[in-house]
Chains A and B, each alone.
Chain A
Amino acid sequence: MTASADRVPVLAAHGITKRFPGVLANEAVDFELNQGEIHCLLGENGAGKSTLVNILFGLYQPDEGELAVRGERVRFTSSSDAIAHGIGMVHQHFQLIPVLTVAENIVLGAEPRSGLRLDLHSARVRVEELSRQYGLEIDPGEKVENLSVGEQQRVELIKALYRDAEILIIDEPTAVLTPGEVDEFFDVVRSLVAQGKSIVFITHKLREVIAVADRITVMRDGRVVGSADPESATPQSLATLMVGRDVILQIDKQPASPGNVRLSVSGLEVLDDRGSTTVSKFDLEVRGGEIFGIAGVEGNGQRELVEALTGMRPPVGGHVEIDGVDSTMGTPRAISAHGVGHVPEDRNKHGLIGAFTVADNLVLNSYHRKPFARGFVRQQRAVEDQAVDLVERYDIRTPGILIPAEHLSGGNQQKVIIARELSRELRVLVVAQPTRGLDVGSIEFIHRRIVEIRDQGVAVLLVSAELDEVLSLSDRIGVLYRGQLVGQFDRAQASRDEIGLLMACGTTEPQAATG
């Protein structure tokens, strides 16, 4: 919209092909970025977005194809070549040193000197200038470890601008932000564009793309499969393009018919690894047949809460009851045997053992029970029979049940965990970040399964950093802010804005709706 077609693109890639052993990561990809536009690169995990931007930033060299900056052909052998051509990149995972100050982080690798000495004063002055110019409010003397995630992102942006970047590549910038911070971030991006910068914005969130993009390019399986005009695009049309088939974004579910309280938590207090109180005065009741979703920015006690409920982190105060039985100090095994399923947030650390076979992972917490063991002796036949059954019922795509789980895709690994936890006799299901990093197809499948288990009368506690996921799955919603439940809503009464506000500051007076 802001760019006319006859202008020379500031950054162009033609016919980019990149192969990794066994994978064609990019195939004949064309990509253009015009002066002063926000160009969104949309696609699922593994679609080839990261490969493409890593090539644009000189981190990978393409096997075929060429790059051009302002019409001039270039070859980048490293990221410093890209930086020299005015390209800056903000990575999804920040590359900052926590114990150094903002100014020190920004100048790192391009330090201003006077003689042999580091000239920190002029660094600070320059950082202040930049932050004024682009509306990126930051204190250059503050240590990075004291900054919020949103502020750290600003530091990353200034770092790129400090190196005179005219073209900014921003990778999944909103994954870690609250809804309010996302809006602020979009304002910053718009002001950068207004001052002549050009931006490549990588994301898989459809709503954001439509809100901020001037142009949209969609990738799938390493190829560009289409472009879309943000004026006319809808989340549905973009999702279809991204996945290659019609996708049900809205989960098709009946209204909940809640039964008795199955999970009851009162006054829960939990410490984190460093011994400071991370969850406090936490009260919650979840009924059979309903999904209670806990929204919140990551790091507000979600992990500790889930671990306390599942026995992995004994709480220091309060009570947890499952179907009227006290399970506060239960071991993971006792709680699991009592009918609590747990889909852990970190599937590679807790949920799976990558080196073990799919079949063994499917009995990871029931290997000692009949029919998988008789006394001390494991019954391989029973383990394999169950694996064959679950692989089929849960559509786990694997070359075989005796393949190490690490060889499966993320979506199929998660399906292994879902199959294991949901196929048991359950009273309560605790699900943490169930679809993080998964493709749309797997997300759809897993969401459907969670709703199914709800309809069987299980009480489901869903903890997710994806507000969209909480909103679309839950029957009731609470917001976790600094370890406390600061609001509880019926889904019908929950407004996105209000929840966003609670996630960001926890201050809006919550309208406790039902119990």
Chain B
Amino acid sequence: MTLPATGQDNEAHKFVRRYFDLQPVLVPICAIGLAFAIGSIAILAVGENPIEAYAELLKGMFGSKDRIAASLGRSTPYIGAALSVAFAFRAGLFNIGVEGQLLIGATVAAWVGTWSMLSDFPGLVLIPIILLAGVVGGGLYGAIPGVLKARTGAHEVIVTIMLNSIAVLYVRWLVGSQDPVILRDMTASRPQSEAIPDAARLPELVSGGQPLHFGFFLMLGLCFVVWFVLQRTTTGFEVRMVGASAHAARYAGVRVNRVIVLVMVSAGALAGIAGASEVAGTTGFLLPGVFLAVGFDSIAIALLARANPFGIVPAAILWGSMLAGAPLMQQETGLSIDIVRIIQALVLLFVAADVIVRTIFQIKRRDAEMGPLAEASMGSQWGAAPV
């Protein structure tokens, strides 16, 4: 390097800065701490001991091998859904539609899984087909806001909110309708779709009410893929350019509208595969309502992870395991499960309004390439303007 090196800028410093830089995770960690601190006030207010409650919660989350497995299993769909949000974030798009994309992906997967022509195939063929069905379903559903934004400038937030409602109600009808019967399994007492063949089920590492299935590792793999695409490929460079400055991207020859469509399709596909892996891994059929709020929670998780694909893994595990561990806390202390929901909401609040955390813990702002996320978290402007 021919660059003028300043005194402190030696190799050791660089190494420390690269691998032990706590700054990016400082705000999320402080936000979590603050949320639990304030949550303890709520627990004290109903006359319980917060330390005891948190201890039970922790036991419920990670207290035994089975509980750890259940926590990871519960976290699985959150990883894929949050990846979807994070990927769109990096292009300056706010994908509120992950809820709908996940549901459509799961529905298409559940539907394709029951095709009679597939019933004799082995799992090695069936499983990829079902996962692919989820990708196609979610991807197409994500394409709608993408194309509308690219063609007409319609804001993806508005469009995806509407599409969420459509998806939820449409799937409820598809699975619930008795006349005509569409996807409903008429032998079941409640509305659910017909079960997919056993061969199509994802292998389970640890079985149970909440199994830890192969989908968890699929999601971990997708985290790496998304990271690789964003950081190491020309497509990812284009996505980040569009996210950081659509004007500069256009100047540089990027076809911004094409990137917007591509990103929304990919985000939908990520959500869709998360839905498909739940159908094929956890339940074996589609139960409308089982994904309720998974999409919305994943927005919080992506925010907590600051749209970093690897940050999503711990953030999603925290989220899923808290939900998985809450029942034990309720059982042992009599506290409502809703306490966990309150704490999660507080985490989201403190991450979104990070000024609060920065003021309390005296953390200086150092945002590089967090354009849309920083904007989103400041609540000022969502997404990038169409060009």
**Which A residues form the contact surface with B (CB < 8 A)?**
312, 331-333, 336, 342, 344, 349-356, 360, 364-365, 367-368, 373, 376-378, 380, 388, 391-392, 398-401, 404
Beta-carbon contact of A400 and B3 below 8 Å: yes
Query: When the two chains form the complex, which single residue of A333, A355, A399, A401 contacts B369, counting CB atoms closer than 8 Å?
Result: A355
Query: Hey, what's the 0/1 contact readout for B70-85 against A, CB within 8 Å counting as 1?
Result: 0000000000000000
Q: How far does the alpha carbon of A378 sit from the alpha carbon of B233 in the complex, in Å?
A: 5
Candidates A364, A373, A380, A404; contact of B248 at CB < 8 Å: A364
List the B side residues contacting A377 at CB < 8 Å: 232-234
Contact A350 B369 (CB under 8 A): no
Interface residues of B in 230-249 (CB under 8 A from A): 232-235, 237, 240-241, 244-245, 247-248
A356 vs B248: C-alpha distance in the bound complex, in angstroms? Answer: 11
Kindly list the 5 A-B residue pairs having the minimum CB-CB distance in the complex, ordered from nearest: A333-B253, A350-B251, A355-B369, A365-B252, A332-B253
* B positions within 8 Å CB-CB of A: 1-3, 6, 9, 232-235, 237, 240-241, 244-245, 247-248, 250-255, 367-371
For the complex formed, measure the closest distance between the CB of A21 and the CB atoms of chain B, giving whole angstroms: 10
Given A331-B253, A351-B248, A355-B369; A388-B234 close (CB under 8 Å): no
Q: How far is the CB of B246 from chain A (nearest CB, A)?
A: 10
- Inter-chain pairs besides A376-B234, A388-B3, 9 sampled, C-beta below 8 Å: A331-B255, A333-B254, A350-B248, A353-B244, A354-B245, A360-B237, A373-B234, A376-B235, A391-B3
Whether A376 and B233, one on each chain, are in contact in the complex, defined by CB atoms closer than 8 angstroms, is: yes
Q: Note all chain A residues with C-beta closer than 8 A to B241.
A: 353, 356, 364
Which residues of A lie under 8 Å from residue B251 when comparing CB positions? 312, 332, 342, 344, 350-351, 364-365
A388 lies within 8 A of B248 (CB): no
B1 near A388 with CB under 8 A, answer yes
Of the candidates B237, B245, B248, B370, the one whose C-beta lies within 8 Å of that of A378 is: B237
How many whole Å from A402's CB to the nearest CB in chain B?
A: 10
Q: Which residue of chain B has its CB nearest to the CB of A400? A: B3
For residue B233, which residues in chain A have a CB less than 8 angstroms away from its CB?
376-378
- Name A372's closest neighbour in chain B (CB-CB): B234
Tell me which residues across on chain A come within 8 A of B367, comparing CB atoms.
355
Known A377-B233, A391-B3: A364·B252 in contact at CB below 8 Å: yes
Nearest to A352 among chain B residues (CB) is B248
Q: Which of B2, B244, B252 contacts A355 (CB 8 A)?
A: B244
Q: Out of A354, A368, A399, which one reaches B6, CB within 8 Å?
A: A399
For B233, B237, B370, B371, the residue with the greatest tally of chain A CB atoms inside 10 Å of its CB is: B237
Contact of A349 among B1, B6, B248, B368 (CB under 8 A): B248
A332 and B252 contacting across the interface, CB-CB below 8 Å: yes
Q: Are B234 and A353 in contact (CB-based, < 8 A)? A: no
Give A10 to B250 CA distance when docked, in angstroms. 53
- CB nearest neighbor in A for B245: A353
Identify which of A352, A378, A380, A392 gathers the most chain B CB atoms within 10 Å of its CB: A378
- CB neighbours (8 Å) of B250 from chain A are 312, 332, 350
Residues in A whose Cβ lies below 8 Å from that of B6: 399
The interface residues of chain A lying within 8 Å CB-to-CB of B369 are: 355-356, 404
Complex CA–CA separation, A344 to B248 (angstroms): 10
CA distance A342 to B251 in the complex (A): 9
Most buried by B among A312, A333, A368, A388: A368
> In the bound complex, what is the Cα–Cα distance between A331 and B3 (angstroms)?
36
Query: Using Cβ atoms and an 8 Å threshold, which residues of chain B touch A399?
Result: 3, 6, 9
A404 to B252, CA, bound (A): 18
A388 in contact with B2 (CB, 8 Å): yes
Alpha-carbon distance between A378 and B237 when the two chains are bound, in angstroms: 9
Report the bound CA distance from A354 to B369 in whole Å.
Answer: 8
A263 to B241, CA, bound (A): 30
Nearest-neighbour CB distance to chain B for A354, whole angstroms, equals 8
Contacts of B371 in A (CB 8 A): 355
Report the Cα distance A312→B235, complex, angstroms: 21
**Contact between chains at A356 and B244 (CB < 8 Å):** yes
The smallest beta-carbon distance between A131 and chain B, in angstroms, is 41
Q: Is the CB of B234 within 8 A of A378?
A: yes
Between-chain CB contacts (< 8 Å), 14 pairs: A332-B252, A332-B253, A351-B251, A353-B241, A354-B244, A360-B237, A364-B252, A367-B252, A376-B234, A378-B234, A398-B3, A399-B6, A400-B9, A404-B368
A78 to B232, CA, bound (A): 51
In the bound complex, residues from chain A placing their C-beta under 8 Å from that of B245 are: 349, 353-354
Within the complex, the shortest CB–CB distance from A362 to chain B, in Å, comes to: 12
By a CB distance below 8 angstroms, the chain B residues around A398 are: 3
Which of chain B's residues has its CB closest to A336's CB? B253
What's the minimum C-beta distance from A429 to chain B, rounded to whole angstroms?
15
Q: Which residues of A contact B9 (CB under 8 A)?
A: 399-400
Given A373-B234, A378-B232, verify A353-B3 contact (CB < 8 Å). Answer: no
Distance in Å from the Cβ of A412 to the closest Cβ of chain B?
A: 13
Q: How far is the CA of A364 from the CA of B245 in the complex (A)?
A: 12
- A350, A367, A388, A404: which contacts B237 (Cβ < 8 A)? A367
- Say whether A350 contacts B247, CB under 8 Å: yes
Task: Please measure, in the bound complex, the distance between the C-alpha atom of A331 and the C-alpha atom of B371, giving whole angstroms.
Answer: 27
Task: Give bound CA distance, A331 to B258, whole Å.
Answer: 14
CB distance from A99 to the nearest CB of B (A): 24
- Cα of A444 to Cα of B240 in the assembled complex, Å: 34
Q: What CA separation (Å) do A336 and B367 show in the bound complex? A: 31
Q: Which residues of B contact A353 (CB under 8 A)?
A: 241, 244-245, 248
A365 to B368, CA, bound (A): 21
User: Which of B234, B241, B369 gathers most chain A CB within 10 Å?
Assistant: B234
Residues of chain B within 8 A (CB-CB) of A350 are 247-248, 250-251
Contacts of B252 in A (CB 8 A): 332, 364-365, 367
Please name all residues of chain A whose beta carbon is closer than 8 Å to the beta carbon of B3 when the two chains form the complex: 388, 391, 398-401
**Chain B residues closer than 8 Å to A351, beta-carbon distance:** 248, 251
Which of chain B's residues have a CB closer than 8 A to the CB of A373? 234
Query: CA separation between A332 and B367, bound complex, in Å?
Result: 30
Residues of B within 8 A of A378 (CB): 232-234, 237
Closest to A349 in B: B247
Output the nearest chain A residue to B228 by Cβ-Cβ distance.
A377
A364 to B241, CA, bound (A): 9
Is the CB–CB distance between A368 and B248 below 8 Å?
no
Residues on B with C-beta less than 8 A from A336 are 253
Chain B residue nearest in CB terms to A387: B3
* Interchain nearest-CB distance for A275 vs B (Å): 16
Contacts of B254 in A (CB 8 A): 333
B89: min CB distance to chain A, Å = 14
